């Protein structure tokens, strides 16, 4: 996520120094070796999102090139500069029908989304060990994060307090704690492995998957249920991001055109909500159960910009470091990558810096990769962005198809040089193993990159 400003003076290029630096990093990644590492595969997927509330539906919508962003209705929203968002239709998911009232009052909307997505993922993985199976439960962990709490929950509870102390719900604090999606899931299924929650703004979902990957690699668990959840669309949330000049405001009368990553007329991101959950599993553990394997997490890279509260470094080094470290961790080179699923949120500066960082890192291999951002279809899910987009990246590797960037109609000269997948999906034709990078960046300069690959013996 990045600050929306139309000033491009920050996009100065330090080309000579950067080129030599990243060339050395690319070369070093080719000689990096990994030994005795536990391989980590994906055996379960689940999603609750604006583009669909099952993996099959969401993937079909993404490949169709449709935008599911709509207009925010209500007098309070009508007073705000941004009046669009990507919300989950109650006809698709009615929380009142999914949970007893006694359970709903204990959890935030985002937690409910995570539990629904996790149920699908665990069903697909066929992994629901009984609580009496001590070994299985102790070797299964949870890593689910949240970017922001529901600000309206806080406002409404403050109003209740003004009416009297006894009006404050005893579940108020548990509802707003960012680790409660992980906590609720662990309690529900009896998972007693690592219980982990990440809150790194819009890198949350990717960090959650990456951390879960390492828990399995380091033998802290055999199975990890991981991802992110977000549900913070409210007048106060919209107002706050508008004050940062981060949101799109030019397409209130044409909501489906409002999120347009990399496009010349992009003017800010569009808030979304939902959750995506992946079940990661140590390879031999998965093979012993005979379950289908959807793909493999190959590497994980992290970095910090150390630069600005909301904007990425103007030279793109934060993104380049994260991508380079993911490549090194995966023991692959830029020549092995066929696709980059970009963080690209539809902000003027952020998308341009990410495009430049990809060009800088990949160098002469830039022409061989495809780049897209699915946020044009589902908006920016903040803390659930990296995980839902990792899910789509995984499916791209598995099925051999590049998901499109919706609303990408024209680019400016500073965005040239990349093969953007615009508006229509494209086949991923390759005689080699399909391997991709998934970027996620957050406020505070936090960056994550996942290297995801097609599963091969």
Active site residue 451: no
DSSP notation for 281-340: EEHHHHHHHT----EEEEEEEEEE--S-SSS--TT-HHHHHHHHHHHHHHT--GGG--EE
Q: What's the distance, CA 249 to chain centroid?
A: 23
Active site residue 32: no
DSSP notation for 382-402: GGGHHHHHHHHHHHHHHHTEE
Active site residue 308: no
Catalytic residue among 380, 397, 449, 451: 380
Separation in Å, CA 235 to CA 79, 121, 442: 9, 32, 22
Question: Strand pairing partners for 272?
Answer: 86
Separation in Å, CA 457 to CA 41, 242, 450: 11, 49, 20
- Residues 34, 40, 41, 46, CA torsion sign: negative
Q: What's the distance, CA 180 to chain centroid?
A: 18
What is the three-class DSSP state of 419?
A: strand
Catalytic residue among 196, 285, 343, 378: 343
Residues 6+ away with beta carbon under 8 Å from 135: none
- Alpha helices for 246-290 (secondary structure H): 283-289
Question: Strand pairing partners for 144?
Answer: 227
Task: Please tell me the distance from the alpha carbon of residue 281 to that of residue 278, in angstroms, as a whole number.
Answer: 10
44 membership: H or E segment, kind and range: strand 40-48
DSSP notation for 102-143: HHHTTS-HHHHHHHHHHHHHHHHHT----TT-HHHHHTEEEE
- The residues annotated with a catalytic role in the active site are 202, 343, 380
């Amino acid at each position: 996520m990045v600050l929306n400003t139309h000033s491009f003076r920050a996009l100065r290029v330090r080309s000579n120094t950067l080129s030599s630096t990243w060339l050395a990093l690319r070369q070093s990644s080719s000689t990096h070796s990994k030994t005795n590492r536990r391989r980590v595969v994906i055996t379960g997927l689940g999603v609750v999102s604006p583009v669909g509330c099952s993996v099959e539906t969401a993937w079909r919508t993404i490949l169709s090139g449709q935008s599911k962003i709509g207009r925010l209705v209500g007098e309070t929203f009508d007073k705000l500069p941004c009046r669009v968002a990507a919300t989950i239709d109650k006809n698709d998911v009615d929380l009142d029908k999914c949970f007893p009232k006694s359970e709903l009052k204990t959890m935030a909307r985002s937690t409910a989304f995570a539990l629904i997505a996790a149920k699908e993922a665990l069903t697909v993985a066929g992994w629901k060990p009984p609580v009496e199976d001590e070994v299985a439960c102790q070797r299964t962990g949870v890593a689910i994060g949240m970017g922001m709490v529901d600000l309206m929950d806080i406002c409404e509870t403050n109003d209740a307090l003004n009416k009297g102390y006894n009006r404050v719900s005893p579940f108020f604090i548990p509802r707003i704690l960012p680790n409660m999606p992980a906590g609720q899931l662990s309690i529900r299924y009896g998972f007693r492995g690592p219980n982990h929650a990440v809150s790194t703004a819009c890198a949350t979902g990717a960090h959650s998957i990456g951390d879960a990957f390492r828990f399995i690699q380091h033998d802290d668990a055999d199975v990890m249920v991981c991802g992110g959840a977000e549900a913070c669309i409210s007048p106060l949330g919209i107002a706050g991001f508008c004050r940062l000049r981060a949101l799109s405001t030019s397409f209130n009368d044409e909501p489906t055109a409002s999120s347009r990553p990399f496009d010349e007329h992009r003017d800010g991101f569009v808030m979304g909500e939902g959750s995506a959950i992946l079940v990661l599993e140590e390879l031999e553990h998965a093979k012993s159960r005979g379950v289908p394997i959807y793909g493999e997490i190959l590497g994980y890279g992290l970095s910090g910009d150390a630069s600005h509260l909301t904007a990425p470094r103007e030279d793109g080094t934060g993104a380049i470091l994260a991508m380079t470290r993911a490549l090194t961790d995966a023991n692959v080179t830029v020549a092995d990558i066929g696709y980059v699923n970009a963080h690209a949120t539809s902000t003027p500066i952020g998308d341009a810096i990410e495009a430049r960082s990809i060009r800088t890192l990949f160098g002469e291999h830039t022409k061989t990769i495809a780049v897209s951002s699915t946020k044009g279809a589902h908006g920016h899910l903040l803390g659930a962005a990296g995980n839902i987009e990792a899910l789509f990246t995984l499916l791209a590797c598995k099925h051999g198809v590049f998901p499109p960037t919706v609303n990408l109609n024209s680019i400016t000269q500073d965005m040239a040089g990349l093969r953007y997948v615009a508006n229509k999906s494209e086949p991923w034709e390759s005689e080699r193993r399909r391997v991709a990078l998934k970027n996620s960046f957050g406020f505070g300069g936090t960056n994550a990159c996942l290297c995801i690959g097609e599963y091969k013996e």
